[in-house]
Amino acid sequence: MSHVAFKGNDAPLYSQIAEVLRQRIGKGVWSRGETIPTLKELMDEFSVAKVTVRRATKMLEQEGLLAPLRGRGTIVTAEPRKRRPLRVETKLADLIEMYSGDVPEVFNLEEDYSSPIYHLNDGKLADEYFHMRRIHSRDGERYCVISMFIEKSVFLCSEDRFRKELVLPVLFTHPTVEIARARQTMVISKCGIETAGLINICIGDPVAEMRRVLYNANDTVIYLADVIYRGDYISMDMELRP
């Protein structure tokens, strides 16, 4: 009987075990040149047959993460993945600072004039918005899908910059745009089929769904964004007040 953690997952058992081993390598649990546990030890840990463990390690050998070495067993051949996580900030200035100097690759998926789906606590909507849906990528890895709605007159102030740059820093530094307040909500969810294909993760993988809303002095929404981040890119560091 396999480990209880693998129950309820439709992926092949060897593929699930391969993902566990892949994560250990990525997080530096096993360093480069280190020998991983023996087949027997892995069989006992995951409560699976030898053929299942062999298929899992073979997958990682084909990916260049592991290599069999005569007399030593199987060793790690890759360095832990270096990834700068995106912190979940609670202040707008801190959120902008996080993006300061960051120039990810931007892939625009669609553009049109349309209004966002309204939520009761979003506030007052303007008459028209320019909508952009795009993917952000860093170091060749796609990490989020974002759907943004910018109030039309604000968008037309810096149309070219909004299309080519990260939108929040442009808004925050624009001399004619006033941001009176901002709010952000986050829900931990599971990746759907379309998002999985766009940011190269598996259906059901954890994602963070963010909604960011910026308001002007009249409490009208000038910017609204629905963002879906890969779960492994999000870092929460909150100060707990007594």
The 10s digit of each residue's pLDDT in 13-46 is 888 888 889 888 887 888 899 999 999 999 999 8
pLDDT of residue 56: 93
pLDDT at 52 over 60: yes
Residue 73's H or E segment, with its range, is strand 73-76
The distance from CA 7 to its chain's CA centroid, rounded to whole angstroms, is: 25
Residue 182's H or E segment, with its range, is strand 181-190
| Residue 216, token pair as written in the block | 């002007």
pLDDT of residue 2: 55
Q: What is the pLDDT of residues 103-156, one digit of tens each?
A: 557 778 889 999 888 777 788 999 999 999 999 887 788 888 999 999 999 999
**86-235 has which fold?**
Chorismate lyase (3.40.1410)
**Where are the domains positioned within the chain?**
4-76, 86-235
Q: How far is the C-alpha of 39 from the C-alpha of 12, rounded, in Å?
A: 18
pTM exceeding 0.75: no
By mean pLDDT, which of 1-5, 41-45, 50-54, 82-86 is the weakest? 1-5
The domains spanning 4-76 and 86-235 adopt the same CATH topology: no
pLDDT of residue 208: 92
Rg of the chain on CA atoms, in Å: 22
Q: How far is the C-alpha of 128 from the C-alpha of 214, rounded, in Å?
A: 15
State the burial class of residue 87 (Cβ atoms within 10 Å of its Cβ: 0-12, 13-18, 19+). middle
pLDDT at 164 over 90: no
- Are residues 108 and 65 in contact, defined by beta-carbon separation less than 8 angstroms? no
CATH code for 4-76? 1.10.10.10
Res. 200 pLDDT band, cuts 50 70 90: confident
Buried b (16+ CB within 10 A) or exposed e, 104-133: bebeeeeeeeeebeeeeeeeeebeebbbbb
